[in-house]
Chain A
């Protein structure tokens, strides 16, 4: 992985910079001992590790602002970091950059049930928001599988999803406002407890910007009332193709389930061995479909999905009769990753999205990719929204396997783009998929995105080396092609 050229002169100034930061964040908030720095050397993408130059853990927005001002003045790069659970290497440190962790921003600032929103600091976990409001029957809808650990600030940076996004949207559809510090130290507030602020939708741009545009110091999210009931169906199929067709049939019937997940045989077996969820072992594909809402609606839709599944050649159907059973249906799916960890020393979790109708083709071609590189691929999908999470199984101790696994990953993502999908559904580009951006975007597309970056961070000091394979200088990006001539385009109809 090629990272931006390290600036040795910054590394040489390490002690001076640490002292400068201690003026802003006194005490233990500045970390520069090698042993302590090691805790920050990677995020959830553990294949890449790098010791940060210094780690700073501020506690107030003013400190964040002062840190960024200081770094801006000293031309020092910043890598923002939430809980460090990201799967695409968005918080991977750089040798010449300061990692700015938001882990101490742990307070929920305001719970407003009447306006159905929560104002929180970014270090609060995703689940922490739900925990804070569930006594009144509310919850925060986006639920990435790392929700116990991942922070809401990181969710905003990555536009995180989860199993419920088909019905309830991604982070971007559930965030109402942020407070953010820009690289020059200016504090900017976008949105609030109201909807759709006038002016350019900077809030929408910040969400999913992977720490390239600013450091988020406060988030306002909307909360929803918990549905009265949720019931799940466990549906097995003799082939994955049948399962894929059933997904399409449910959607075509006008039903948008709360969650619709699909697992292949390898996952089913690994999960069953691990958590004993009661999964059938004689099926090739297993779906968990969850319907939530008022009792009357859920019971009605459960029946309809059951009918559709029967018509779609299902060989196994079970419907949860109580909360315990519903939780058991989910337990296998929710533990799919650790379950795979038991059958393979290492794995890479791929994250691409495809149009639903291409599922059969993509599955077939993924088999080919798996054979070509001689590595197993196990499949688990957010089937409802076409978001694939193929797990590439390998052993890093066997020479060449990691490299082959990365090739499988690149081949699968290229395939996703080729069939009309995208490189990342919810994990972000980070460093992991950075070099594949060219498969999805033209040079002009990428340049235009970078011009947006230039409006926030013209010096490219925030999280460089992430998302974009090559950062053009802003001055260069700003130049216009000169178009000469008088009316060179006489063919346009004029009125």
Chain B
């Protein structure tokens, strides 16, 4: 029975989960479905679709928070925030197109459950840092909540952190409260356009590290190697003969103007510098946020998201690419490697994780066909004690394995 349950309110959500428990029917939890193929494939007999819980319930710009149902579309949330000159400052990506689906269908619940974050992660944190509270139904069929609507809160365990990034394996969130912040008045991006004869990516890591270690409050730093730049919709990037390193400055206008000038002077020794204004900045950072260079690359079926200490980004990438064919680009000042691979055996997992053993960090297989995601460890394998705690947490929240069973690890 491939049933799909689509609750329209919290009572029905609770009932649906209680039904699944009583029928011992594992549920695949979905909302917009844009990241349905992110994680291990689940063995489920029914689907719980929470896209019917789609309302923005409270939005108080002056209190800097919004409470929305988990199935609320990010596109609607962004529009409401834009009206008040605010934003979710962790820059939630839209991975729909990367994963072969449509854009603008992602939901708040999905973003939080996968703990994603865009380029501003290095300054303002990820989804985990912006969830102030939530209401959820556990796999025990019980309603529970945590947190609240205020930023400063140490009242009991921080369950919001636990729910963020749990891929719907512990509970199904019905409403989520997130912190919102003012949009910057002005945005500028400095581009270091490395020439055709530029040295390897490591010099870009050095440039980003220098910029991020300055007092100029750089809010994003990414590097696109020469193989990638041609896919950008921004002329200054596309026309570069070598790779491009992008540094973003945001804030009040006089401040951005001043910092742009000073930072430009500080980095001009690296290579030719260009300046992107509002529109081009927005385009470039959206491309990076949504991993657009790897959208529709049929020859590169596997996409990995690798998080490492920023200065080791290029070393890790080089040590992987010497064995495997593929492409990379870097966000988070070098700390986030987006790696796309050709159809290599085992999606290259062994090579990638061996490279990480040396430098530290973790790798997640974001895009791959279902059979590969079923046979390769999609998430970084856990140490013994970590695996033990993870299994026990799952047991405490979802003892019968009703919610997205096996989505993260076998049995979790």
Contacts and interface: CB of A to CB of B under 8 A. Distances in A.
B154 to A, nearest CB: 5
A428 to B, nearest CB: 5
B162 A422 contact: no
A425 B149 contact: no
B61 A488 contact: no
A427 B153 CA distance: 9
Nearest to A296: B258
Interface stretch (B69-77, B191-199, B392-400): B392-400
B7 A493 contact: yes
Contacts of A114: 209, 213, 310-311
A438 to B, nearest CB: 11
Contacts of A112: 309
B64 to A, nearest CB: 7
Contacts of A357: 60, 62-63
A348 B287 CA distance: 53
Contact of B162 (A204, A442, A489): A204
Interface string B242-283: 000000000111110111001000000000000000000000
Interface stretch (B95-103, B138-146, B289-297): B138-146
A468 to B, nearest CB: 8
A376 to B, nearest CB: 25
Contact of A492 (B6, B146, B209, B388): B6
Interface in B366-412: 379-380, 382-386, 388-390, 392-393, 395-397, 399-400, 408-409
A61 to B, nearest CB: 13
Interface stretch (A93-101, A181-189, A268-276): A181-189
A355 B149 CA distance: 7
Given A382-B152, A488-B19, A493 B8 contact: yes
B159 A452 contact: yes
Contact of A485 (B6, B22, B181, B362): B22
Contacts of A420: 148-150
Contact of B128 (A159, A201, A382, A444): A201
Nearest to A491: B12
Contacts of B388: 186
Contact of B165 (A115, A200, A296): A200
Contacts of B309: 112, 115, 192-194
Nearest to B255: A297
B346 interface: no
A294 B217 contact: yes
A429 B155 contact: yes
- Chain A CB within 10 Å, residue with most, of B157, B181, B409: B157
A493 to B, nearest CB: 5
A225 B214 contact: yes
Interface stretch (A165-173, A324-332, A393-401): A165-173
A407 interface: no
B158 interface: yes
Interface in A396-449: 420-429, 433, 437, 440-442, 444-449
Contact of B254 (A205, A212, A300): A300
B360 interface: yes
A158 interface: yes
Contact of B258 (A248, A295, A493): A295
A195 B15 contact: no
Interface residues of B, number: 109
Contact of B386 (A199, A387, A488, A491): A199
B309 to A, nearest CB: 4
A467 B156 contact: yes
A455 B335 contact: no
Contacts of A488: 15, 18-19, 22
Size range of the interface on A? Answer: 35 or more
A121 interface: no
A225 B266 CA distance: 16
B204 interface: no
A117 B335 CA distance: 13
Interface string B154-194: 11111111101110001000000000011101000000000
For the residues of A in contact with B, the DSSP-based class is loop
Given A169-B129, A205-B162, A300-B255, A455 B209 contact: no
B283 to A, nearest CB: 24
Contacts of B151: 165-166, 170, 353, 385-386
Contact of B385 (A188, A196, A448): A188
Interface in A447-486: 447-449, 451-456, 458, 467-468, 477-478, 480-481, 483-486
Contacts of B324: none
B216 interface: yes
Contacts of A192: 309, 360-361
B215 A137 contact: yes
- Chain B CB within 10 Å, residue with most, of A248, A385, A427, A468: A385
B155 A478 contact: no
A318 B197 CA distance: 56
A194 B308 contact: yes
Given A200-B390, A477-B396, A356 B144 contact: no
B307 interface: yes
Contacts of B386: 188, 190, 199, 202
A198 interface: yes
Contact of B115 (A201, A301, A456): A201
B335 to A, nearest CB: 6
A82 interface: no
Contact of A202 (B21, B146, B389): B389
Contact of A297 (B19, B251, B311): B251
A210 B336 CA distance: 32
Contacts of A447: 142
Interface string B125-144: 11011000000001011111
A354 B7 contact: no
A444 B22 CA distance: 19
Contacts of B393: 200, 451-452, 455
B3 interface: yes
Contact of A437 (B152, B156, B400): B156
B215 A449 contact: no
Contact of A480 (B23, B128, B400): B400
A293 B217 contact: yes
B85 A254 contact: yes
B7 A426 contact: no
A39 interface: no
B152 A353 contact: yes
Contacts of A486: 23
A454 B117 contact: no
Given A200-B408, A297-B251, A478-B395, 8 more contacts: A114-B311, A158-B154, A195-B332, A197-B380, A205-B157, A294-B215, A449-B157, A451-B396
20 contacts: A159-B154, A182-B385, A186-B388, A188-B383, A209-B158, A213-B157, A248-B62, A256-B182, A294-B216, A300-B254, A300-B255, A356-B63, A422-B152, A425-B154, A428-B154, A448-B397, A483-B21, A488-B22, A492-B12, A492-B19
A-B pairs with the 10 shortest C-beta distances?
A204-B161, A297-B255, A451-B396, A254-B182, A455-B392, A425-B152, A296-B258, A193-B309, A483-B22, A489-B15
